[in-house]
Structure 1
Amino acid sequence: MKMDLRNIFGLFQHGNVSAKSHIKNLIEVASADGEFNEQEFYLLKEIARRNNISDKQLEEIRCHPEAIVFICPTDDREKFYQLYDLVHMMTVDDFIHPEEILLCSVFATRFGYPNALVNEIITTIQLNIENGSGYDEAMKRVYFIMGR
Protein backbone atom coordinates (compact mmCIF):
# COMPACT_ATOMS: atom_id res chain seq x y z
CA MET A 1 0.00 0.00 0.00
CA LYS A 2 1.37 3.36 -1.04
CA MET A 3 1.11 6.24 1.41
CA ASP A 4 0.60 9.74 0.13
CA LEU A 5 2.16 12.84 1.65
CA ARG A 6 -1.01 13.73 3.62
CA ASN A 7 -1.01 10.33 5.36
CA ILE A 8 2.67 10.61 6.23
CA PHE A 9 2.13 14.14 7.56
CA GLY A 10 -0.87 12.93 9.57
CA LEU A 11 1.24 10.20 11.20
CA PHE A 12 3.95 12.70 12.02
CA GLN A 13 1.46 15.06 13.59
CA HIS A 14 -0.14 12.31 15.68
CA GLY A 15 3.29 11.17 16.86
CA ASN A 16 4.19 14.70 17.88
CA VAL A 17 0.90 15.11 19.74
CA SER A 18 1.47 11.78 21.48
CA ALA A 19 5.03 12.79 22.35
CA LYS A 20 3.81 16.08 23.82
CA SER A 21 1.25 14.18 25.87
CA HIS A 22 4.02 11.92 27.14
CA ILE A 23 6.17 14.91 28.11
CA LYS A 24 3.21 16.48 29.94
CA ASN A 25 2.70 13.20 31.84
CA LEU A 26 6.37 13.12 32.80
CA ILE A 27 6.16 16.69 34.08
CA GLU A 28 3.16 15.72 36.20
CA VAL A 29 5.09 12.85 37.79
CA ALA A 30 8.19 15.00 38.33
CA SER A 31 6.12 17.72 39.99
CA ALA A 32 3.98 15.38 42.11
CA ASP A 33 6.22 15.70 45.16
CA GLY A 34 6.14 19.50 44.97
CA GLU A 35 9.71 19.72 43.74
CA PHE A 36 11.07 19.60 40.19
CA ASN A 37 14.79 19.03 40.68
CA GLU A 38 17.80 19.04 38.38
CA GLN A 39 17.90 15.24 37.94
CA GLU A 40 14.26 15.19 36.89
CA PHE A 41 14.77 18.09 34.49
CA TYR A 42 17.81 16.43 32.92
CA LEU A 43 15.86 13.18 32.38
CA LEU A 44 12.92 15.17 30.99
CA LYS A 45 15.18 16.92 28.46
CA GLU A 46 16.74 13.59 27.46
CA ILE A 47 13.33 11.99 26.87
CA ALA A 48 12.09 15.11 25.04
CA ARG A 49 15.08 14.96 22.66
CA ARG A 50 14.46 11.25 22.07
CA ASN A 51 10.87 12.15 21.13
CA ASN A 52 11.89 15.03 18.83
CA ILE A 53 10.57 17.68 21.21
CA SER A 54 12.64 20.86 20.99
CA ASP A 55 13.70 22.86 24.03
CA LYS A 56 11.23 25.54 22.97
CA GLN A 57 8.37 23.03 22.76
CA LEU A 58 9.40 21.57 26.11
CA GLU A 59 9.21 25.01 27.71
CA GLU A 60 5.79 25.62 26.13
CA ILE A 61 4.51 22.33 27.57
CA ARG A 62 5.90 23.20 31.02
CA CYS A 63 4.33 26.68 30.96
CA HIS A 64 0.99 25.65 29.43
CA PRO A 65 0.28 22.00 30.32
CA GLU A 66 -3.47 22.62 30.02
CA ALA A 67 -2.99 23.03 26.26
CA ILE A 68 -1.90 19.40 25.90
CA VAL A 69 -4.53 16.68 25.89
CA PHE A 70 -3.86 13.16 27.11
CA ILE A 71 -3.22 10.77 24.24
CA CYS A 72 -3.10 7.10 25.15
CA PRO A 73 -0.51 5.28 23.06
CA THR A 74 -2.10 2.58 20.93
CA ASP A 75 0.94 0.40 20.36
CA ASP A 76 1.84 -2.02 23.19
CA ARG A 77 5.54 -1.26 22.84
CA GLU A 78 4.94 2.49 23.02
CA LYS A 79 2.69 2.02 26.07
CA PHE A 80 5.49 0.16 27.79
CA TYR A 81 8.16 2.71 26.82
CA GLN A 82 6.02 5.53 28.17
CA LEU A 83 5.31 3.68 31.43
CA TYR A 84 9.02 2.87 31.79
CA ASP A 85 9.86 6.58 31.34
CA LEU A 86 7.23 7.55 33.93
CA VAL A 87 8.62 5.09 36.47
CA HIS A 88 12.14 6.28 35.65
CA MET A 89 11.04 9.85 36.34
CA MET A 90 9.54 8.70 39.64
CA THR A 91 12.84 7.10 40.72
CA VAL A 92 15.49 9.38 39.22
CA ASP A 93 15.92 11.54 42.33
CA ASP A 94 16.18 8.53 44.69
CA PHE A 95 13.11 9.70 46.58
CA ILE A 96 9.76 8.17 45.73
CA HIS A 97 6.80 10.20 46.89
CA PRO A 98 3.45 8.38 47.32
CA GLU A 99 1.85 10.80 44.85
CA GLU A 100 4.38 9.76 42.19
CA ILE A 101 3.50 6.10 42.72
CA LEU A 102 -0.19 6.96 42.48
CA LEU A 103 0.29 8.85 39.22
CA CYS A 104 2.33 6.01 37.68
CA SER A 105 -0.44 3.62 38.71
CA VAL A 106 -3.08 5.85 37.12
CA PHE A 107 -1.13 6.06 33.87
CA ALA A 108 -0.52 2.29 33.83
CA THR A 109 -4.25 1.73 34.22
CA ARG A 110 -5.06 4.28 31.53
CA PHE A 111 -2.61 2.49 29.23
CA GLY A 112 -4.60 -0.70 29.73
CA TYR A 113 -2.44 -2.65 32.16
CA PRO A 114 -4.50 -4.92 34.45
CA ASN A 115 -5.38 -3.21 37.76
CA ALA A 116 -4.47 -6.32 39.72
CA LEU A 117 -0.91 -6.26 38.31
CA VAL A 118 -0.17 -2.52 38.16
CA ASN A 119 1.80 -2.36 41.44
CA GLU A 120 3.85 -5.42 40.52
CA ILE A 121 4.52 -4.04 37.03
CA ILE A 122 5.70 -0.69 38.42
CA THR A 123 7.91 -2.41 41.01
CA THR A 124 9.39 -4.65 38.32
CA ILE A 125 10.21 -1.67 36.10
CA GLN A 126 11.64 0.19 39.09
CA LEU A 127 13.92 -2.72 40.02
CA ASN A 128 15.05 -3.08 36.41
CA ILE A 129 15.95 0.62 36.28
CA GLU A 130 17.85 0.33 39.57
CA ASN A 131 19.75 -2.67 38.16
CA GLY A 132 20.65 -0.81 34.96
CA SER A 133 18.37 -2.84 32.68
CA GLY A 134 17.02 -1.12 29.61
CA TYR A 135 13.57 -1.05 28.09
CA ASP A 136 13.73 -4.42 26.37
CA GLU A 137 14.86 -6.42 29.41
CA ALA A 138 12.28 -4.73 31.63
CA MET A 139 9.59 -5.35 29.01
CA LYS A 140 10.37 -9.07 28.94
CA ARG A 141 9.94 -9.25 32.71
CA VAL A 142 6.70 -7.28 32.67
CA TYR A 143 5.27 -9.43 29.89
CA PHE A 144 6.24 -12.52 31.91
CA ILE A 145 4.25 -11.16 34.87
CA MET A 146 1.31 -10.58 32.55
CA GLY A 147 1.54 -14.12 31.16
CA ARG A 148 2.53 -13.10 27.66
Structure 2
Amino acid sequence: MFSLFESKKDKKFKKHLRNLVFLAKVDGKLNEVERDLIFKIGLKYGLKDYFIAELIEEVPDFDFRLPASDYERFDQIYDLVQLMVSDGVVDDHELDFCVDMAERLGFRKAVVGVLVRKISQGVSNGQNKELIRKEAEAFLTN
Protein backbone atom coordinates (compact mmCIF):
# COMPACT_ATOMS: atom_id res chain seq x y z
CA MET A 1 0.00 0.00 0.00
CA PHE A 2 2.90 2.36 0.69
CA SER A 3 5.29 2.95 -2.19
CA LEU A 4 9.01 3.53 -2.17
CA PHE A 5 8.48 6.52 -4.43
CA GLU A 6 6.07 8.44 -2.20
CA SER A 7 6.95 11.75 -0.67
CA LYS A 8 7.12 12.14 3.10
CA LYS A 9 4.01 14.29 2.86
CA ASP A 10 2.03 11.55 1.07
CA LYS A 11 3.17 8.95 3.60
CA LYS A 12 2.12 11.25 6.45
CA PHE A 13 -1.35 11.72 4.95
CA LYS A 14 -1.78 7.98 4.43
CA LYS A 15 -0.79 7.23 8.02
CA HIS A 16 -3.17 9.93 9.18
CA LEU A 17 -6.00 8.40 7.17
CA ARG A 18 -5.18 4.91 8.51
CA ASN A 19 -5.70 6.25 12.03
CA LEU A 20 -9.07 7.67 10.99
CA VAL A 21 -10.13 4.37 9.42
CA PHE A 22 -9.12 2.55 12.58
CA LEU A 23 -11.20 4.94 14.70
CA ALA A 24 -14.18 4.53 12.42
CA LYS A 25 -13.96 0.75 12.75
CA VAL A 26 -13.28 0.64 16.49
CA ASP A 27 -17.00 0.49 17.32
CA GLY A 28 -17.40 -2.55 15.06
CA LYS A 29 -19.08 -0.83 12.14
CA LEU A 30 -18.29 1.77 9.53
CA ASN A 31 -21.40 3.72 8.63
CA GLU A 32 -21.99 5.79 5.52
CA VAL A 33 -21.38 9.15 7.23
CA GLU A 34 -18.02 7.98 8.59
CA ARG A 35 -17.09 6.48 5.21
CA ASP A 36 -18.00 9.71 3.40
CA LEU A 37 -15.98 11.78 5.86
CA ILE A 38 -12.95 9.50 5.43
CA PHE A 39 -13.22 9.94 1.66
CA LYS A 40 -13.60 13.70 2.03
CA ILE A 41 -10.54 13.95 4.26
CA GLY A 42 -8.49 11.60 2.05
CA LEU A 43 -9.38 13.51 -1.11
CA LYS A 44 -8.58 16.79 0.66
CA TYR A 45 -5.08 15.43 1.24
CA GLY A 46 -4.77 14.45 -2.43
CA LEU A 47 -5.20 10.71 -2.03
CA LYS A 48 -6.87 8.78 -4.84
CA ASP A 49 -10.35 7.42 -4.26
CA TYR A 50 -9.26 3.86 -5.13
CA PHE A 51 -6.55 4.05 -2.45
CA ILE A 52 -9.03 5.31 0.13
CA ALA A 53 -11.45 2.50 -0.75
CA GLU A 54 -8.68 -0.11 -0.41
CA LEU A 55 -7.64 1.32 2.93
CA ILE A 56 -11.19 1.22 4.23
CA GLU A 57 -11.71 -2.36 3.08
CA GLU A 58 -8.60 -3.78 4.69
CA VAL A 59 -8.41 -4.04 8.43
CA PRO A 60 -5.39 -1.87 9.09
CA ASP A 61 -2.56 -2.98 11.27
CA PHE A 62 -2.65 -0.16 13.73
CA ASP A 63 0.84 1.24 13.76
CA PHE A 64 0.55 4.69 15.23
CA ARG A 65 3.25 7.21 14.32
CA LEU A 66 3.62 10.43 16.25
CA PRO A 67 3.17 13.50 14.01
CA ALA A 68 6.22 15.73 13.69
CA SER A 69 4.73 19.07 14.81
CA ASP A 70 2.16 20.46 17.22
CA TYR A 71 0.13 21.62 14.22
CA GLU A 72 0.02 18.06 12.86
CA ARG A 73 -0.78 16.67 16.32
CA PHE A 74 -3.78 18.97 16.55
CA ASP A 75 -4.89 18.07 13.01
CA GLN A 76 -4.72 14.39 13.91
CA ILE A 77 -6.81 14.68 17.07
CA TYR A 78 -9.20 17.13 15.40
CA ASP A 79 -9.88 14.73 12.52
CA LEU A 80 -10.27 11.80 14.93
CA VAL A 81 -12.80 13.71 17.03
CA GLN A 82 -14.59 14.96 13.90
CA LEU A 83 -14.90 11.38 12.74
CA MET A 84 -16.10 10.28 16.18
CA VAL A 85 -19.00 12.76 16.17
CA SER A 86 -19.79 12.45 12.45
CA ASP A 87 -22.46 9.79 12.90
CA GLY A 88 -24.22 11.71 15.66
CA VAL A 89 -23.52 8.99 18.21
CA VAL A 90 -20.45 9.05 20.41
CA ASP A 91 -19.67 5.45 21.23
CA ASP A 92 -17.72 4.85 24.47
CA HIS A 93 -15.07 2.92 22.54
CA GLU A 94 -14.62 5.82 20.13
CA LEU A 95 -14.38 8.32 22.98
CA ASP A 96 -11.86 6.15 24.82
CA PHE A 97 -9.89 5.78 21.61
CA CYS A 98 -9.80 9.56 21.04
CA VAL A 99 -8.65 10.17 24.60
CA ASP A 100 -6.01 7.45 24.27
CA MET A 101 -4.87 8.85 20.93
CA ALA A 102 -4.60 12.34 22.38
CA GLU A 103 -2.29 10.94 25.05
CA ARG A 104 -0.27 9.06 22.43
CA LEU A 105 -0.02 12.28 20.45
CA GLY A 106 1.76 13.77 23.44
CA PHE A 107 -0.99 15.85 24.99
CA ARG A 108 -0.82 15.87 28.79
CA LYS A 109 -2.93 13.18 30.39
CA ALA A 110 -4.50 15.72 32.73
CA VAL A 111 -6.02 17.69 29.83
CA VAL A 112 -6.90 15.14 27.13
CA GLY A 113 -10.49 14.62 28.24
CA VAL A 114 -11.16 18.36 28.22
CA LEU A 115 -9.35 18.77 24.89
CA VAL A 116 -11.41 16.04 23.23
CA ARG A 117 -14.60 17.52 24.69
CA LYS A 118 -13.73 21.05 23.49
CA ILE A 119 -13.01 19.81 19.97
CA SER A 120 -16.16 17.67 19.99
CA GLN A 121 -18.33 20.59 21.09
CA GLY A 122 -16.73 22.91 18.54
CA VAL A 123 -17.25 20.45 15.69
CA SER A 124 -20.82 19.73 16.80
CA ASN A 125 -21.55 23.47 16.97
CA GLY A 126 -20.14 24.03 13.48
CA GLN A 127 -17.17 26.11 14.62
CA ASN A 128 -14.33 26.76 12.21
CA LYS A 129 -11.34 24.44 12.67
CA GLU A 130 -8.92 27.35 13.11
CA LEU A 131 -11.09 28.86 15.85
CA ILE A 132 -11.16 25.50 17.63
CA ARG A 133 -7.38 25.27 17.21
CA LYS A 134 -6.86 28.73 18.73
CA GLU A 135 -9.14 27.95 21.67
CA ALA A 136 -7.34 24.65 22.22
CA GLU A 137 -3.94 26.36 22.09
CA ALA A 138 -5.09 28.93 24.64
CA PHE A 139 -6.40 26.15 26.88
CA LEU A 140 -3.26 24.05 26.53
CA THR A 141 -0.83 26.88 27.24
CA ASN A 142 -2.55 27.90 30.50
**TM-based fold match above 0.5:** yes
Q: Find the partner of 1:116 among 110, 115, 136.
A: 110
Mapped to 1, the partners of 2:43 and 2:125 lie a distance apart of: 24
Which deviations, in whole Å up to 9, do the C-alpha atoms of 1:80-134 show, x marking residues without a partner?
A: 1111110000000110111101111121111111110000000000010011112
- 1:31-110 alignment to 2 at 5 Å? 31-64=25-58, 65-66=60-61, 69-110=63-104
- Tell me by how many angstroms 1:63 deviates: 3.4
Asked if structure 2 preserves the Cα contact closer than 8 Å seen for 1:81 and 1:135, the reply is no
User: Aligned with 2:50: secondary structure?
Assistant: helix
Mapped to 2, the partners of 1:23 and 1:145 lie a distance apart of: 27
Q: Find the partner of 1:25 among 15, 19, 23.
A: 19
The two structures, once aligned, show a CA RMSD in angstroms of: 1.8
Mapped to 2, the partners of 1:109 and 1:62 lie a distance apart of: 25
- 1:123-134 alignment to 2 at 5 Å? 123-134=117-128
Mapped to 2, the partners of 1:60 and 1:71 lie a distance apart of: 20
Asked if structure 2 preserves the Cα contact closer than 8 Å seen for 1:40 and 1:92, the reply is yes
- 1:140 corresponds to: 134
TM-score, normalisation: structure 2: 0.89
Identical aligned residues as a percent: 28
- Computing the radius of gyration from Cα coordinates, the structure with the larger value is 1
TM-score, normalisation: structure 1: 0.85
Segments of 5+ residues of structure 1 without an aligned counterpart are 1-9
Mapped to 2, the partners of 1:93 and 1:27 lie a distance apart of: 14
- Tell me by how many angstroms 1:28 deviates: 1.2
Mapped to 2, the partners of 1:71 and 1:56 lie a distance apart of: 23
Mapped to 1, the partners of 2:63 and 2:111 lie a distance apart of: 26
